[in-house]
């Protein structure tokens, strides 16, 4: 019998899983300031990992200014998010969440992004690293009008 992943924010969770939940909640609410407050000042976000349309050099978005610009390019352009986390593996100061992020974009488009989303936190529970492993081509192949 396995252990069910509980996303109840009132339930005791490992710090990295709690930070991941708060990140998804802030993104869903469109709360840029709340989202940025979850990250350490020198945090790095790689979403997706490697070169992409959001990060041509593939070096990630660094610090509050970099994360703010990342929000404006990506999260800020989404009309609605749906997060479905099918599994979550917490170990030490990190968590790897396996799931699908569905984004509803302007013009009535919907995109499903399957991936593994890895958060690492510091001793204060602030995110120091978020690395999202997903494939642009696979996500774009799901684009459809709703």
Mean pLDDT value across residues 74-103: 96
Please check whether residue 99 is in contact with residue 126, taking contact to mean a CB–CB distance below 8 angstroms: no
- What is the pLDDT, as a whole number, of residue 11? 72
Task: Check residue 2 and give its pLDDT.
Answer: 44
What does each C-alpha distance from 135 to 7, 25, 35, 116 come to in angstroms? 25, 23, 24, 10
The pLDDT of residue 3 is 44
Instruction: Give the mean pLDDT of the chain.
Output: 93
For the segment 101-127, what is each residue's pLDDT rounded down to a tens digit? 999 999 999 999 999 999 999 999 999
Mean per-residue pLDDT, 85-104 = 96
Strands 94-105, 61-62: pairing kind:
unpaired
3-state secondary structure string across the chain: CCCCCCCCCCCCCCHHHHHHHHHHHHHHHCCHHHHHCCEEEEEEEECCCCCECCECCCCCEEHHHHHHHHHHHCHHHCCEEEEEEEEEEEECCEEEEEEEEEEEECCCEEEEEEEEEEEEECCCCCEEEEEEECCHHHHHCCCEEC
17: confidence class by pLDDT, cuts 50, 70, 90: very high
**pLDDT of 15 above 90:** yes
């Amino acid at each position: 019998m396995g252990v069910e992943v509980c996303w109840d924010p009132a339930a005791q969770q490992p710090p990295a899983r709690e930070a991941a939940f708060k990140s998804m909640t802030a993104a869903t609410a469109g709360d840029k300031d709340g989202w940025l407050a979850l990250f350490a000042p020198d945090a790095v976000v790689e979403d997706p990992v490697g070169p992409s349309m959001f990060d041509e050099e593939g070096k990630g978005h660094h610090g509050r200014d970099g994360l703010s610009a990342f929000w404006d390019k990506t999260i800020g352009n989404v009309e609605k998010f749906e997060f479905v986390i099918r599994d979550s593996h917490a170990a030490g100061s990190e968590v790897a969440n396996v799931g699908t992020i569905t984004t509803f974009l302007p013009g009535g488009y919907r995109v499903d992004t399957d991936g593994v989303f890895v958060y690492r936190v510091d001793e204060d529970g602030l995110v120091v690293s978020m690395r999202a492993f997903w494939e642009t081509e696979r996500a774009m192949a799901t684009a459809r009008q709703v």
